[in-house]
């Protein structure tokens, strides 16, 4: 999507380096959270007390809290989101806490999941064993401590128990307690997130609109046989991409009713209406600017879903949105022409226009179609742009810069089938 894609939910695993048996935690947080947020989360999920200095290391660059009295190459952790360093699954980051004891942690990005507006973040989902006591002397001191703790006859046994204040169980891990502390620390309902509806690069703005599109339809309403309009950001992205790519200019008076379908929001004020419509126009203009000025940078805002530890690319909502955009000017699009059939096939294959025919292909053919969507979108925009800006109204067929496709050649739509068995008919 041209306004930045929705933030994701990062699933990370932190392991205390060198601890045997392993001490680790698995937790989730928003990809837009900062390294400073990650530091606080690590302190809570691991069980540290945040009484000592710390730093992150990524590809030999250090991140933490710079000391103005001691200039160094350390970058400020509060200025960087974790997605700046961890971009792909299996990316890693190091975290050191207490330079005296030298507790080193390995952090790995295990999964990148779609963002859920109602998700409680951050949250710990699993872990093993207790965090060592502070100021125990590092791993060596902790191992010695465990030996003394396991031997009541050791001369230092009573002293250790007195120092701890209560019994220490190295196997103890309480997921509920950890999440209660995380919730108290990060989810303060008295401090609502400020949303600037003019800033489409802000994930909170896009999250807000995604939520608004879905929840404008009240659950108690009977939606059968009604047009629900556009229900998510991915569908909206496809819708606007078609509108700015097509053969004619579509005014808001025509496309806005299509966004709402039969369920226009109940506006609290004229200002709310103006704010939402202004946001929609800004998003559409941003998509148009990208396709006009830097088309090679255009990316569709597809969705991703996690099923049984596998991540699947979902293009249906985006493609359905694109078809909705075409439907506002179907005659002008001339979708039955040879050029449009070839260019639109990968998109319409995953829409109601074809009854979702793309899902009838085998996995390889389906993947080929999905991969062809973005290149074809760029070519469709260029195709109609040339016709919108020409000084004539010529009806001559489009002369493509490619050799004519033979009946037995692979279909240009990207399905992997021969042309005669695909788009020719």
| 3-state secondary structure labels for all residues of 325-393 | HHHCCHHHHCCCCHHHHHHHHHHHCCCHHHCCHHHHCCHHHHHHHHHHHHHHHHHHHHHHHHHHHCCCC
CATH code of the domain covering residue 58: 3.10.290.30
CATH code of the domain covering residue 361: 1.20.120.740
* Residue 40 and residue 111 in one domain: yes
Cα–Cα distances in Å, from 345 out to 182, 315, 319, 339, 389?
48, 13, 11, 10, 25
- Asked if residue 1 is part of any domain, the answer here is no
Give the range of the structural domain holding residue 411, as residue numbers without chain letter. Answer: 203-421
- Asked if residue 124 is part of any domain, the answer here is yes
Residue given tokens 């998510």 in the structure block: 232
* Residue 115 and residue 144 in one domain: no
What CA–CA distance (Å, rounded) separates 97 from 93? 13
Which has the closest alpha carbon to 65: 97, 33, 91, 42? 97
Which has the closest alpha carbon to 146: 173, 172, 168? 168
- Asked if residue 207 is part of any domain, the answer here is yes
What CA–CA distance (Å, rounded) separates 286 from 298? 10
- Asked if residue 192 is part of any domain, the answer here is no
Q: Is 23 exposed, middle or buried (0-12, 13-18, 19+ CB in 10 A)?
A: buried
What CA–CA distance (Å, rounded) separates 204 from 186? 16
* Residue 160 and residue 181 in one domain: no
Residue given tokens 């295990």 in the structure block: 110
* Residue 123 and residue 241 in one domain: no
* Residue 164 and residue 241 in one domain: no
* Residue 208 and residue 180 in one domain: no
* Residue 230 and residue 316 in one domain: yes
What CA–CA distance (Å, rounded) separates 424 from 414? 13
* Residue 349 and residue 323 in one domain: yes
Residue 282 CB coordination number (10 Å): 16
Pairing of strands 24-30, 92-97: unpaired
* Residue 152 and residue 106 in one domain: no
* Residue 122 and residue 144 in one domain: no
Helices then strands, counting H and E runs in the chain, come out as 13, 10
* Residue 146 and residue 70 in one domain: no
Q: Which residues contact 215 (CB under 8 A, 6 or more apart)?
A: none
- Asked if residue 289 is part of any domain, the answer here is yes
- Asked if residue 194 is part of any domain, the answer here is no
* 425 residues of the chain, pLDDT tens digit each: 333 344 689 999 999 999 999 999 999 999 989 999 999 999 999 999 999 999 999 999 999 998 888 778 899 998 889 999 999 999 999 999 999 999 999 999 999 998 877 788 999 999 999 999 998 999 999 998 888 887 888 888 777 777 765 567 899 999 999 999 999 888 755 444 556 788 888 777 888 898 889 888 875 555 567 899 999 999 999 999 999 999 999 999 999 999 999 999 988 888 889 999 999 999 999 999 999 999 999 999 998 776 666 778 899 999 999 999 999 999 999 999 999 999 999 999 999 999 999 999 999 999 999 999 999 999 999 999 998 866 344 444 444 444 556 656 666 555 555 555 555 44
Phi/psi of residue 307, each to 5°? -135, 120
Cα–Cα distances in Å, from 326 out to 1, 245, 304, 330?
18, 9, 24, 6
Q: How many structural domains comprise the chain? A: 3
* Residue 178 and residue 67 in one domain: yes
> Using an 8 Å Cβ cutoff, are 53 and 62 in contact?
no
């Amino acid at each position: 999507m041209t306004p930045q894609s929705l933030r994701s939910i990062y699933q990370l695993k932190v392991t205390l380096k060198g601890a045997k048996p392993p001490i680790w935690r698995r937790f989730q947080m928003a990809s837009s959270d900062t390294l400073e947020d990650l530091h606080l989360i690590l302190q809570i999920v691991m069980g540290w007390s945040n009484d000592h200095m710390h730093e992150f290391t990524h590809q030999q660059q250090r991140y933490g809290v710079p000391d103005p009295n001691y200039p160094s190459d350390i970058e400020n952790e509060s200025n960087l989101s974790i997605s700046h360093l961890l971009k792909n699954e299996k990316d890693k980051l190091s975290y050191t806490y207490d330079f005296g004891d030298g507790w080193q942690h390995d952090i790995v990005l295990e999964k990148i999941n779609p963002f859920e507006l109602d998700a409680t973040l951050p949250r710990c989902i699993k872990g093993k064993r207790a965090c060592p006591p502070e100021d125990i002397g590092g791993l060596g001191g902790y191992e010695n401590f465990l030996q003394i703790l396991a031997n009541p006859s050791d001369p230092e046994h009573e002293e250790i128990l007195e120092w701890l204040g209560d019994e220490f169980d190295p196997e103890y891990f309480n997921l509920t307690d950890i999440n209660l502390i995380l919730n108290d620390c990060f989810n303060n309902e008295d401090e609502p997130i400020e949303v600037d509806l003019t800033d489409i690069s802000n994930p909170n703005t896009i999250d807000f609109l995604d939520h608004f599109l879905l929840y404008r339809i009240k659950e108690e309403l009977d939606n059968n046989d009604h047009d629900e309009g556009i229900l998510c950001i991915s569908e909206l992205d496809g819708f606007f991409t078609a509108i700015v790519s097509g053969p004619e200019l579509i005014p808001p008076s025509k496309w806005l009713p299509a966004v709402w379908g039969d369920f226009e929001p109940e506006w609290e004020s004229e200002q709310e209406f103006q704010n939402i419509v202004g946001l929609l126009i800004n998003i559409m203009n941003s998509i148009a600017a990208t396709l006009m000025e830097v088309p090679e940078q255009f990316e569709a805002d597809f969705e991703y879903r996690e099923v049984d530890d596998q991540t699947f690319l979902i293009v249906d909502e985006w493609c359905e949105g694109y078809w909705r955009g075409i439907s506002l000017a179907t005659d002008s699009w001339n979708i039955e022409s040879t050029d449009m059939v070839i260019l639109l096939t990968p998109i319409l294959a995953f829409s109601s226009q074809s009854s979702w025919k793309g899902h009838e292909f085998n996995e390889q053919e389906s993947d080929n179609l999905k991969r062809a969507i973005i290149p074809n979108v760029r070519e469709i925009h260029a195709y109609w742009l040339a016709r919108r800006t020409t000084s004539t109204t010529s009806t001559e067929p489009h002369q493509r810069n490619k050799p004519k496709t033979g009946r037995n050649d692979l279909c240009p739509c990207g399905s992997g089938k021969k042309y005669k068995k695909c788009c020719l008919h």
